[in-house]
Amino acid sequence: MTSVLIAGGASGIGAATVTRLRAAGAGVHVADIDAAGATEVVKAEHSGLGTSSYCDLSTPEGPGQAVADALAAHGRLDAVVFCAGLLVETELADFTVAEWDRTMALNLRAPFLMAQAAAPALAASPHGRVVLTGSTAAFRGGGGSFAYAASKGGLVALTRSLAVALGPDGVTVTCVCPGWIDTPFNDPYWQRVGGRDGAQQALEARIPLGAQGEPDDVAAVIEFLVSPGSRYLTGQAVVVDGGLLAS
Ligand SMILES: NC(=O)c1ccc[n+]([C@@H]2O[C@H](COP(=O)([O-])OP(=O)(O)OC[C@H]3O[C@@H](n4cnc5c(N)ncnc54)[C@H](O)[C@@H]3O)[C@@H](O)[C@H]2O)c1
């Protein structure tokens, strides 16, 4: 049975991925700073084991601890999916070093440390997978999300280096890049632009498919990326944005 570690699986895209993979029979371990949410998301009965642990992934030790917890609970690891992220929206003149460092620690350092810690277990799997969560912010700017955009651009570059390093072990590394997905994650943006009302309408007018996506729209792609069927896809960013970047 496949065992998957989902970092940041208590909410949004991560939680939708937990639901999908467990319904498909996978064993899932959720590591999240929201311990109650992580416990809740794995409590449904499925054939695969669902476990969770508290973890602050932004610390240097957190990602390795999450991998150790997943291995202790499941005894093997076939895929790691890194969904946790931080969005700070601040005007250029006010953006602080602390905000920059907090963003980089979670959005860029933690996925690297998690892949590093999981690499031996993934190499032992017949279809080892690393799936990172980037963003269309890797490819387009947003006035206010300076560290966020830089971290997600870095993640796309990191995906390529990890794919090269882990390819000889048969482990693939991909980066799913969502556009606008309706989760609490974007609240800092709505606050910076003065509320959702008009801003949401203007945003959705720019999306060819006409609306923000749902977490499951991204989870469906992640399910494919962790599946054996994606075995020849590595080192790539996969954009899931309703056509926003194309417009
Ligand atoms: N929602 C969007 O529109 C969107 C767009 C592009 C990219 N993304 C990316 O997708 C990923 C998931 O976003 P989401 O919308 O599902 O967000 P979300 O806020 O719904 O979920 C994020 C999860 O990460 C966890 N988390 C936050 N900080 C943590 C930490 N220090 N340690 C451990 N866990 C932590 C939260 O508790 C939560 O469960 C993020 O990396 C985000 O950058 C989201």
Residue whose entry in the numeric block shows the structure tokens 């499951």:
216
180 lines ligand 1 (CB under 6 A): yes
pLDDT tens digits along 119-135:
999 999 999 999 999 99
Task: Choose the residue to mutate in 185, 196, 216 for probing ligand 1, maximizing ligand atoms within 8 Å of C-beta.
Answer: 185
Give the residue extent of every domain in the chain: 3-246
Q: Which CATH fold topology does 3-246 show?
A: Rossmann fold (3.40.50)
pLDDT tens digits along 186-228:
998 999 888 998 899 999 999 999 999 999 999 999 999 999 9
Tell me: pLDDT of 117 over 80.
Answer: yes
Q: How far, in Å, from the CA of 189 to the mean position of ligand 1?
A: 14
Looking at residue 102, what is its pLDDT?
A: 98
Specify burial of residue 141 (Cβ count, 10 A radius: 0-12, 13-18, 19+). exposed
Q: Using CA atoms, how far apart are residues 35 and 89, in angstroms rounded to an integer?
A: 25
Q: How far, in Å, from the CA of 168 to the mean position of ligand 1?
A: 30
Residues 6+ apart with CB under 8 A from 198: none
Q: Using CA atoms, how far apart are residues 203 and 90, in angstroms rounded to an integer?
A: 19
- DSSP-derived pairing of the beta strands 236-240 and 172-178: parallel
Q: Using CA atoms, how far apart are residues 159 and 235, in angstroms rounded to an integer?
A: 5
Q: Whose CA is nearest to atom 1 of ligand 1?
A: 181
Q: How far, in Å, from the CA of 12 to the mean position of ligand 1?
A: 7
Tell me: pLDDT of 21 over 90.
Answer: yes
Q: If you average pLDDT over residues 34-58, what whole number do you get?
A: 96
13 lines ligand 1 (CB under 6 A): yes
144 lines ligand 1 (CB under 6 A): no
57 lines ligand 1 (CB under 6 A): yes
Tell me: pLDDT of 143 over 90.
Answer: no
- DSSP-derived pairing of the beta strands 3-7 and 27-32: parallel
54 is known as an active-site residue: no
Residues 6+ apart with CB under 8 A from 165: none
Looking at residue 236, what is its pLDDT?
A: 98
83 lines ligand 1 (CB under 6 A): yes
pLDDT tens digits along 53-97:
999 999 999 999 999 999 999 999 999 999 999 999 999 999 999
- DSSP-derived pairing of the beta strands 50-54 and 79-82: unpaired
